[in-house]
Amino acid sequence: MENENSAKTSDSSLEKIGFLSQKLSKDGIPNDSLDTDHIGVEIISIEPNNLYKAISILKSYGFNYLQCQGGYDEGPGKNLVSFYHLISLDDIDKIEKVKEVRIKVFLKRDSELSVPSLYKIFKGSDWQERETYDMFGIQFEDHPNPKRLLMPEDWRGWPLRKDYIQPDFYEMQDAY
């Protein structure tokens, strides 16, 4: 009876690990399965140093379009997150019925906020990475044009961080 219960427990813990998370693990990419979102899209956490390789492998699985790259702030003193939503535009058998996946890279606010740029894999990441840099201060290593996109080049701070303090109106006028 105990063996049967332990087998059920291990089976249910395997079910909680997503299909793509298991596949990435088999391909030597350490990751954490974060379950699925409200519409059933698998979410996987990847360390920054494994991001480029993980995305390259996911592209080889058939996820050939970076639909969205962005960032968000979990709150003052908490992590900043760079996320990637990949989809398959082809009808392929490599990944069965899975057609989209979300990757998240959690970055400690008080450490180096840097992840590899995906520009060499997906050219469309260019402006998306620049916007994430501009609003959150996350650096994208090897990005071909790592400049601010929305804010003036001399702007100080990262406006979408939850601990950002907006400059005084008069300070802003001095910039003009």
Residue 94's pLDDT is what? Answer: 57
With CA atoms as reference, report the closest residue to 152 among 140, 167, 163. Answer: 167
* CA 6/CA 51 separation, integer angstroms: 34
Residue 176's pLDDT is what? Answer: 53
Query: Which domains are delineated in the chain?
Result: 2-174 (3.30.460.80)
* CA 78/CA 81 separation, integer angstroms: 10
With CA atoms as reference, report the closest residue to 56 among 103, 10, 16. Answer: 103
* CA 32/CA 68 separation, integer angstroms: 20
Residue 63's pLDDT is what? Answer: 93
Stated pTM of the model: 0.82
Residue 14's pLDDT is what? Answer: 47
Residue 90's pLDDT is what? Answer: 75
Q: How many other CB atoms sit within 10 Å of the CB of residue 97? A: 6
Residue 118's pLDDT is what? Answer: 98
Residue 74's pLDDT is what? Answer: 97
Q: Which residues of the chain have pLDDT under 70?
A: 1-16, 91-98, 168-176
Residue 57's pLDDT is what? Answer: 97
- Residue 59, exposed/middle/buried by CB under 10 A (0-12, 13-18, 19+)? middle
